[in-house]
Amino acid sequence: MIIKILGTWCPKCKLLEEVTRRTIAKLWIDAQILEVDKIEDIMEYNILSTPALVLNEEVLCMWKVPNNEEMESIFVRLQ
Protein backbone atom coordinates (compact mmCIF):
# COMPACT_ATOMS: atom_id res chain seq x y z
CA MET A 1 0.00 0.00 0.00
CA ILE A 2 1.32 3.43 -0.90
CA ILE A 3 0.22 6.38 1.21
CA LYS A 4 0.99 9.93 0.19
CA ILE A 5 0.78 12.95 2.44
CA LEU A 6 0.35 16.07 0.29
CA GLY A 7 1.36 19.32 1.89
CA THR A 8 3.83 22.07 2.60
CA TRP A 9 4.87 20.58 5.96
CA CYS A 10 3.06 23.07 8.10
CA PRO A 11 2.05 21.85 11.59
CA LYS A 12 -1.20 20.41 10.20
CA CYS A 13 0.67 18.43 7.53
CA LYS A 14 3.09 17.06 10.12
CA LEU A 15 0.17 16.07 12.35
CA LEU A 16 -1.50 14.19 9.48
CA GLU A 17 1.71 12.24 8.92
CA GLU A 18 2.01 11.48 12.64
CA VAL A 19 -1.60 10.25 12.93
CA THR A 20 -1.18 8.18 9.75
CA ARG A 21 2.04 6.54 10.96
CA ARG A 22 0.54 5.81 14.37
CA THR A 23 -2.56 4.26 12.79
CA ILE A 24 -0.77 2.00 10.33
CA ALA A 25 1.53 0.81 13.12
CA LYS A 26 -1.43 0.08 15.40
CA LEU A 27 -3.28 -1.84 12.66
CA TRP A 28 -0.13 -3.66 11.47
CA ILE A 29 -0.55 -2.33 7.93
CA ASP A 30 2.38 -2.75 5.57
CA ALA A 31 2.57 0.61 3.84
CA GLN A 32 5.03 3.03 2.39
CA ILE A 33 4.48 6.70 3.26
CA LEU A 34 5.65 9.30 0.78
CA GLU A 35 5.82 13.03 1.46
CA VAL A 36 4.68 15.10 -1.52
CA ASP A 37 5.56 18.77 -1.11
CA LYS A 38 6.14 20.11 -4.63
CA ILE A 39 3.22 22.30 -5.65
CA GLU A 40 3.18 20.97 -9.21
CA ASP A 41 2.93 17.38 -7.88
CA ILE A 42 0.19 18.34 -5.39
CA MET A 43 -1.80 20.06 -8.13
CA GLU A 44 -2.01 16.77 -10.06
CA TYR A 45 -4.46 15.54 -7.41
CA ASN A 46 -6.91 18.38 -8.02
CA ILE A 47 -7.31 19.18 -4.33
CA LEU A 48 -8.41 22.52 -2.92
CA SER A 49 -6.21 22.63 0.16
CA THR A 50 -3.60 20.75 2.11
CA PRO A 51 -2.90 18.59 3.92
CA ALA A 52 -4.35 15.70 1.97
CA LEU A 53 -4.16 11.95 2.44
CA VAL A 54 -3.84 9.84 -0.71
CA LEU A 55 -4.05 6.08 -0.61
CA ASN A 56 -3.21 4.12 -3.76
CA GLU A 57 -3.76 7.32 -5.80
CA GLU A 58 -7.21 8.03 -4.29
CA VAL A 59 -7.65 11.21 -2.25
CA LEU A 60 -9.32 10.15 1.00
CA CYS A 61 -9.30 13.40 2.90
CA MET A 62 -8.08 16.93 2.52
CA TRP A 63 -7.80 20.06 4.60
CA LYS A 64 -8.49 18.41 7.94
CA VAL A 65 -6.58 15.93 10.03
CA PRO A 66 -8.77 12.98 10.99
CA ASN A 67 -8.65 12.05 14.66
CA ASN A 68 -7.37 8.60 15.64
CA GLU A 69 -10.80 6.97 15.40
CA GLU A 70 -11.56 8.47 11.99
CA MET A 71 -8.16 7.45 10.66
CA GLU A 72 -8.59 3.88 11.87
CA SER A 73 -11.99 3.79 10.22
CA ILE A 74 -10.46 4.90 6.90
CA PHE A 75 -7.89 2.10 6.92
CA VAL A 76 -10.19 -0.62 8.26
CA ARG A 77 -12.74 0.21 5.56
CA LEU A 78 -10.10 -0.17 2.85
CA GLN A 79 -8.66 -3.49 3.99
Over residues 2-61, the pLDDT tens digits come to: 999 999 989 999 999 999 999 999 999 999 999 999 999 999 999 989 999 999 899 999
* C-alpha closest to that of 50 among 2, 3, 15: 15
Domain 2-78: what homologous superfamily?
Answer: Glutaredoxin (3.40.30.10)
**At 79, is the pLDDT very low, low, confident or very high (cuts 50, 70, 90)?**
low
**φ, ψ dihedrals at 47, nearest 5°:** -100, 160
Q: Where are the domains positioned within the chain? A: 2-78
